[in-house]
């Protein structure tokens, strides 16, 4: 492995030339040096997965070692914290643009992420992987096979599936990213042609002895950052063994790379973060050792044999009532009674100290209500205890901020893909049961007529054209680089949701919000169907005001029907968009 790592400086010096001459050989060398540089980390990922599933604590004789699985409990505790309030997206333009309806654009982006199952699938999967292993990956791509025109897809990938430049000091400095995609042979033929030469992956794993019943092609999607005319550019090629299936070619995503690292604790150096298992593992092992020693002492104490010298003791062995065995002995050198050894309290104290260290290292276990001696005395004062709890809360919030930054990057890439690939007229339904009508571009005849107009005059005519055709957004008007994306998450304290619901109820009583907003704030089951029926009843009412034929992102909401009459159907199941088949992109823990 050292020899492979020593090749990295020479490889990096000639990486651009090798990419042009023989990309398949370059990819093979990059895989080799990456695996050498990360061999210990990859072995740890397998071990930490076993710890999470509690498989690591099965002894050789198949008996279960007594253990408190801190890895699993901490991962699930933080995961519950993250998922208590899904992230919300908010687009903020750097300058006002009269051609773009910001509310409609935000609703469009949210609907695209919902259709890609981001909040309900991709977000929790990546959060669990990142918390356990330190790093996960999101791949934001355009899938031409989804729906009639294609759609944005978001894949969650484990750290083993993505090989990013291990010598880069940070993510922005990464020169290459390799994604290993196990494909069935027919999938390779479908994507790259019937004459595509492939290399098959090994069908058995020596470590687990598992055999894959389906032969799979070893396909690597290789991304390389090259020098372009206007700065660094990404290029992509698909390689299988010694064969180039396609490329190299410029990135189809406007010079961008589709991968986003998801971290629990961001790395100080490199691209691999730190997770719960890495923090806890040495303390977990020591805690298990202490637990096993305590168990052995208890077993020996329960089943020990008493040695009694009847001559010296003044009583016979028959006077004992004991579950353990009693052995009479005689002779001048025989002991009188074998004393029961005292239980080693120091082992219990040491184990409790290890538990406290785990809390200190991870910072996720509550300090309030602790009975440990370390927190007695002056630290029991209300001020000190409040400060300690606030510090712990901020420490956990700092981890959540790394997730928010990754979600913002997902939204940014998704917006770019919408502008690039949504080239047909689409009417997209949002989660609020409204629709956003998008159009790729204005007619050429109108654009030629606008050439001599001022900016304000063009804006007025564009607005008139959109209103005439019922269009909310024209994609040619949207420039992703002019928008900053903010991701917000609500406080994950147990009382936050109930407080928000109580506040919404008070506002509803004061007529500050309508019934639809109340249902959303209370997260009432089946609220989408209730809102839809409310709108339908409003349309059927004989004295209802006329409503536009299409409910747009910037349109007005009609007056809802009586809430109490509609709560009967609150438990109606929600309607989810269909899941489209996709190529395998990697597994989870």
- Contact assessment for residue 433 and residue 552, using Cβ atoms and an 8 Å cutoff: no
> What confidence score (pLDDT) does residue 201 get?
64
Q: Which residues contact 132 (CB under 8 A, 6 or more apart)?
A: 48, 49, 52, 71, 75, 275, 276, 277, 589
Q: Encode burial over 434-444: b for 16+ CB neighbours within 10 A, e otherwise.
A: bbbbbbeebee
**What average pLDDT does range 260-267 have in this prediction?**
93
Could you give the percent of the chain with pLDDT greater than 70?
70
- pLDDT tens-digit profile of 151-207? 999 999 999 999 999 888 989 889 999 999 888 878 888 888 766 677 776 655 544
Instruction: Please state which of the ranges 233-242, 317-326, 475-484 shows the lowest mean pLDDT.
Output: 317-326
Region for residue 255 given its phi and psi (left: phi exceeds 0; alpha: psi -120 to 50; beta: otherwise): left
- pLDDT tens-digit profile of 94-134? 777 788 888 889 999 999 999 999 999 999 999 999 999 99
Q: Is the pLDDT of residue 342 over 80?
A: no
Instruction: Please state which of the ranges 7-11, 264-268, 269-273, 494-498 shows the lowest mean pLDDT.
Output: 494-498
> What confidence score (pLDDT) does residue 43 get?
92
User: Of 120-124, 315-319, 332-336, 535-539, which has the strongest mean pLDDT?
Assistant: 120-124
> What confidence score (pLDDT) does residue 180 get?
92
- pLDDT tens-digit profile of 308-331? 666 666 656 565 555 445 555 555
**What is d(CA 291, CA 285) in angstroms, rounded to the nearest whole number?**
10
**What average pLDDT does range 133-150 have in this prediction?**
92
**What is d(CA 366, CA 355) in angstroms, rounded to the nearest whole number?**
12
- 3-state secondary structure at position 96: coil
Q: Which residue has the higher pLDDT, 438 or 66?
A: 438
- 3-state secondary structure at position 422: coil
E strands, 549-589, in order: none
């Amino acid at each position: 492995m050292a020899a492979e790592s020593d090749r990295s400086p020479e490889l990096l010096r000639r990486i651009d030339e090798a990419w042009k001459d023989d990309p398949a050989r370059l990819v093979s060398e990059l895989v080799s040096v990456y695996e050498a540089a990360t061999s210990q980390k990859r072995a740890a990922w397998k071990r930490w997965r076993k710890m999470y599933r509690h498989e690591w604590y099965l002894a050789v004789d198949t008996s279960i070692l007594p253990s408190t699985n801190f890895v699993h409990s901490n991962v699930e505790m933080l995961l519950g914290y993250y998922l208590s309030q899904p992230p919300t997206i908010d687009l903020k333009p750097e300058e006002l643009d009269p051609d773009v309806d910001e509310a409609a654009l935000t609703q469009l982006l949210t609907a695209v992420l919902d259709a890609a199952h981001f909040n309900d699938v991709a977000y929790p999967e990546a959060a669990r992987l990142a918390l356990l292993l330190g790093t996960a990956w999101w791949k934001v791509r355009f899938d031409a096979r989804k729906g009639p025109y294609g759609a944005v897809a978001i894949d969650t990938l484990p750290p083993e599936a993505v090989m990013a430049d291990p010598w880069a000091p940070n993510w922005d400095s990464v020169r290459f990213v390799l994604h290993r995609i196990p494909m069935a042979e027919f999938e390779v033929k479908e994507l790259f042609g019937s004459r595509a030469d492939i290399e098959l992956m090994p069908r058995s794993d020596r470590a687990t002895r598992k055999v894959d019943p389906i032969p799979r092609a070893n396909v690597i999607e290789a991304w390389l950052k090259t020098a372009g005319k206007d700065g660094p550019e990404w290029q992509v090629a698909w390689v299988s063994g010694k064969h180039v299936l396609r490329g190299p070619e410029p990135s189809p995503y406007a010079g961008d790379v589709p991968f986003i690292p998801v971290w629990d604790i961001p790395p100080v150096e490199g691209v691999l973060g730190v997770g719960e298992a890495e923090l806890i593992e040495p303390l977990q092992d020591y805690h298990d050792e202490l637990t096993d020693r305590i168990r052995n002492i208890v077993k020996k104490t329960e089943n020990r044999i008493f040695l009694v010298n009847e001559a010296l003791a003044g009583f016979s062995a028959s006077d004992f009532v004991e579950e353990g065995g009693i052995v009479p002995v005689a002779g001048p050198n025989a002991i009188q009674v074998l004393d029961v050894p005292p239980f080693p309290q120091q082992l219990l104290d040491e184990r409790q100290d290890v538990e406290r260290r785990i809390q200190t290292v991870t910072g996720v276990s509550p300090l309030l209500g602790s009975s440990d001696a370390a927190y007695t005395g002056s630290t029991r004062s209300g001020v000190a205890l409040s400060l300690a709890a606030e510090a712990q809360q901020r420490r956990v919030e700092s981890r959540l901020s790394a997730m928010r930054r990754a979600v913002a990057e997902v939204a940014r890439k998704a917006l770019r893909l919408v502008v690039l690939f949504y080239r047909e007229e689409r009417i997209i339904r949002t989660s609020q049961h409204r629709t956003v009508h998008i159009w790729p571009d204005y007619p050429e005849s109108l654009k030629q007529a606008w050439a001599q107009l001022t900016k304000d005059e063009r804006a007025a005519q564009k607005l008139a054209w959109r209103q005439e055709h019922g269009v909310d957004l024209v994609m040619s008007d949207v420039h992703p680089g002019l928008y900053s994306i903010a991701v917000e998450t609500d406080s994950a304290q147990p009382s936050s949701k109930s407080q928000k619901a109580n506040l919404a109820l008070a506002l509803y009583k004061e007529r500050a919000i309508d019934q639809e907003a109340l249902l959303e704030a209370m997260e009432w089951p089946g609220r989408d169907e209730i809102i839809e029926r409310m709108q339908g009843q409003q349309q059927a009412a004989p004295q209802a005001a006329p409503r536009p034929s299409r409910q747009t992102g910037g349109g007005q909401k009609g007056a809802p029907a009586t809430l109490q009459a509609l709560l009967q159907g609150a438990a109606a199941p929600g309607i989810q968009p269909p899941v489209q088949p996709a190529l395998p992109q990697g597994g989870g823990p």
